[in-house]
Amino acid sequence: MTERNRTMMQFFEWHLANDGDHWNRLAMLAPELKKHGIDSVWIPPAAKAITQADNGYGIYDGYDLGEFDQKGTVRTKYGTKDELLKGIDACHEEGISVYADVVMNHKAGADETEIFHVIEVHPDNRYEEISDPFEIEGWTRFHFPGRQGEYSAFTWHFYHFNGTDYNDAEDETGVYRILGDHKHWNEQVDDEFGNYDYLMFANIDYYHPEVRDEMMYWGKWFAETTRADGYRLDAIKHINHEFIADFVAEMREEFGDDFYLVGEFWNPDLEACQNYLDIVDYQIDLFDVPLHYNFHEASHAGRDYDLSRIFENTLVGTHPDHAVTFVDNHDSQPHEALESWVEDWFKPLAYALILLRLDGFPCVFYGDYVGINGDHPIAGKKELLDPLMDARYRYAYGEQHDYFDHGNTIGWVRLGDLDIPGSGCAVVLSNGDDGHKEMFTGEHRAGEVWTDMTGNIPDAVHIDSEGYGDFPVIGGTVSVFIKQD
């Protein structure tokens, strides 16, 4: 029996309201998401952060999921621990898997300062030392007074980190490498800035055996406590790659081969992504950042972009079984650190390219679906994305025939699967003028009438005696044709 297509949703965007109601929204929307074929959600970091308004990436205490009075709040930005668990339960009741965003690169908001020795390094080349050794007063002492040892008695000191960015004694910022016996930057990281081990806050040192043991323990505790079905691993190009490989192996040993892991390796270079998959022995998936940048470029270039080459130099093109395809996410949205927003006109085309094809594991962005809040709000596109999500769930099955033979108008046909009645679809899109594609739907389709479920094309297409149909498209849009009725 053919399984239905998998579709993930990133269930947050950067500017969600700090109302503590997001886990409740997850529980409320779970049935609606399932109806449109969403069978997994990636939720934002659930642990207590440096402030209540923080999105969770400024992580303070991984064991506080909105349960303890710490950092001036019990709940996180998203709600309480009880609400989190109820939201996950609601997803499970609908058959939706939940993937938790785990932040393991750094810690923020220490409880006390400590005095220790550092060397300041050049921010653009972390191997270049620009000072002699000297003392600083840094925020590196974490003992979590509000939790008082519940779940874990581990406390953090400066020697559990290898870098920080603030000297409290002098009120100065910089990139400071912490000194100590056998202490240096982790080598198994991205080579941007010479060595990109250090990203922000107090940088966790994965060469320290106590740190490795504690983070392995926490990874198991979090999944057992929340009943999460997998992890989205944040900022993995900054974390010792060997530790990530070991972490993945331990999570799989503990929770089984179905425990899903996908990594955020934000690098548009395909070779770098391929090398990372080699390092972790293909035990995780990666977000297809190169494809995202192709979408970004295509959306700004308009008709000058050659759509027939949209999948060149992408992870889904070379490693489709390990590619999580996406259009935008919380980092790429406007006014954020990695802003590379795909223009609105191209969004339906890009989503068709990830949702309706054979390869890749597509992820729909909450900001595209529901909308973006904040000072620069953007309306959601639910009415545009629902038909594409429905088409993936109901029709986009079977053998795929591509018609990537024109720079502005491309198409493909999914021939359907006998196990899924009514399946099969024809997709055509254009970034230039109005166009059309004559495409083969199968000899058994002769005489059928196909209609555009997006509503862009009002006229039906009649399949000829040999199984071909001539499928039109309006310039700058996408149409998805399915058998009438």
What are the catalytic residues? 234, 264
According to the annotation, is 105 in a ligand binding site? yes
Residue 53: which residues within 8 A CB-CB, separation 6 or more? 18, 77
Q: Report helix angle 347-355 to 289-301, nearest 10.
A: 150
According to the annotation, is 22 in a ligand binding site? no
CA atoms within 13 A on the CB side of 469: 32
Please state, in angstroms and rounded to a whole number, the distance separating the CA atoms of residues 186 and 83. 37
Cα 4 to chain centroid, rounded: 21
The helix (H) or strand (E) run that includes residue 359 is: none
According to the annotation, is 197 in a ligand binding site? yes
Q: Closest Cα to residue 32, out of 89, 118, 94, 99?
A: 94
Tokens encoding 477: 């849009």
Residue 334: which residues within 8 A CB-CB, separation 6 or more? 341, 372, 376, 378
Tokens encoding 254: 């503990």
Tokens encoding 217: 């323990």
Q: Closest Cα to residue 8, out of 369, 398, 408?
A: 369
Binding residue numbers for Ca(2+): 105, 197, 205, 238
Binding residue numbers: 105, 197, 205, 238
